[in-house]
Amino acid sequence: MENNLNKPFVIDDENVAQYADSIAEWIAVQVKTANRKGVLLGMSGGIDCSVVACLCHRAVVDVYLVMMPYGSDMKNTSSYQHAMELIEKFDFKYSVFDIQPAADAIAVGDEAMLEGVTDANRALSLANIRPRVRMTYLYQLAQLGSRFVIGTGNMAERTVGYFTKWGDGASDLNPLGMLTKQEVYTLARYLGVPDSIVDKKPSAGLWEGQTDEDELGMSYAQIDAFILEGSSGDTSIDDLIRSRMAMSAHKFATVPIYNV
């Protein structure tokens, strides 16, 4: 089958240098055209944000990294250590901001309002507070420094809607939005992202032990195959991807406004 998601290019080991330069140049142009002083990047210690940081470094764009743990979650999963490996290797400027007090303060605590709510919806609502708090902090800090908030969501995540609306899905520019997960890995190896980041299982860090693929019920390789070839190779996974696409369509649509 042919690619059914209109992906216009594919990055591989043969052309990765060309695309690394092209994406870096695109970032530089976006920042310069908008007269921004640089970009602000939320750093989780994962592969996507690490690749974006390295692309900004390649673009010679001033990039400031912000780690925003919920309490000790980054240290419990080694994410802090991985982020520091990247920061020290490329000498990135950074800061750490614990979002736990802010996230806990705005969580609904009235048991009457939680009556009848499923455990799954309750857990997910709490998990989604965290990326929304991070987004709020990033945009305040970006405005203080006349910077852009740079996004890190790749095409595989976008295809199945694997991001929090008005949370990690919010950014001023996104250099990875048309890249499969495999293309992100190809760039990571070329750009010199530390092996500790490249080799670990992708995780959004929503809770201890959480991994993207376990939560999605499919692998990134299957999503990439669906993007590039029209099928993951498993009809049940194809159906699940299409279902997720339909359920998350609202995340990409313009907010409906009543008009006669």
Domain residue ranges of the chain, discontinuous segments joined by +: 16-213
> What's domain 16-213's superfamily in CATH?
HUPs (3.40.50.620)
Q: Quickly tell me which residue has 């299409």 as its tokens.
A: 242
Tell me what the mean pLDDT of segment 7-11 comes to.
Answer: 94
pLDDT band at 202; cut points 50, 70, 90 = confident
pLDDT at 183: 98
What pTM does this model have? 0.93
Greatest CA separation found in the chain?
59
Give the whole-angstrom CA distance, residue 77 versus residue 196: 12
Which of 76-85, 101-110, 168-177, 249-258 ranks highest by mean pLDDT? 168-177
pLDDT at 123: 87
Give the whole-angstrom CA distance, residue 158 versus residue 152: 11
Q: Which of 191, 148, 204, 157 is nearest to 177 (CA)?
A: 157
Give the whole-angstrom CA distance, residue 34 versus residue 39: 11
The answer to whether the CB of 4 falls within 8 A of the CB of 230 is: yes
Tell me what the mean pLDDT of segment 53-82 comes to.
Answer: 95
The answer to whether the CB of 175 falls within 8 A of the CB of 166 is: no
pLDDT at 109: 84
